[in-house]
């Protein structure tokens, strides 16, 4: 689980203007999936989401691909 969390932190810090404000919390969902919640500064929210949610979708795809390799299921939520 820590691997996915670190990947998400690295991706988010590369995108935002204030990398110190990036935090990721993890929990376990109902069906055993890993739920990662990404929080960034309010000014950087648009950069993480992107136009029409394209960057958010790409971030979720990268994390999902890393998790599928290990047979895990990871859900990324952005707050």
Q: What is the pLDDT of residues 24-68, one digit of tens each?
A: 999 998 888 999 999 999 999 999 999 999 999 999 999 999 999
Residue 34 is predicted with a pLDDT of 94
14: tokens are: 């590369």
State yes or no: pLDDT of 1 exceeds 80: no
Give the pTM: 0.91
> What does the alpha-carbon distance between residue 43 and residue 14 come to, in Å, rounded to a whole number?
15
- Spatial CB neighbours of 46, under 8 Å, sequence gap ≥ 6: none
| Residue ranges of domains in the chain, CATH in brackets | 2-78 (3.30.300.20)
Residue 56 is predicted with a pLDDT of 97
Q: What is the pLDDT of residues 4-29, one digit of tens each?
A: 999 999 999 999 999 999 999 999 98
**Phi-psi bin for 11: left (phi > 0), alpha (psi -120 to 50), beta?**
alpha
């Amino acid at each position: 689980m820590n691997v996915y969390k670190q990947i998400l932190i690295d991706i988010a810090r590369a995108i935002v203007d204030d990398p110190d404000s990036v935090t990721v919390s993890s929990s376990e969902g109902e069906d055993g999936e890993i739920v990662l919640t990404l929080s960034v500064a309010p000014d950087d929210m648009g950069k993480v989401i992107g136009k029409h949610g394209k960057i958010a979708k790409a971030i979720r795809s990268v994390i999902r691909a890393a998790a599928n390799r290990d047979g895990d299921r990871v859900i990324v939520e952005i707050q």
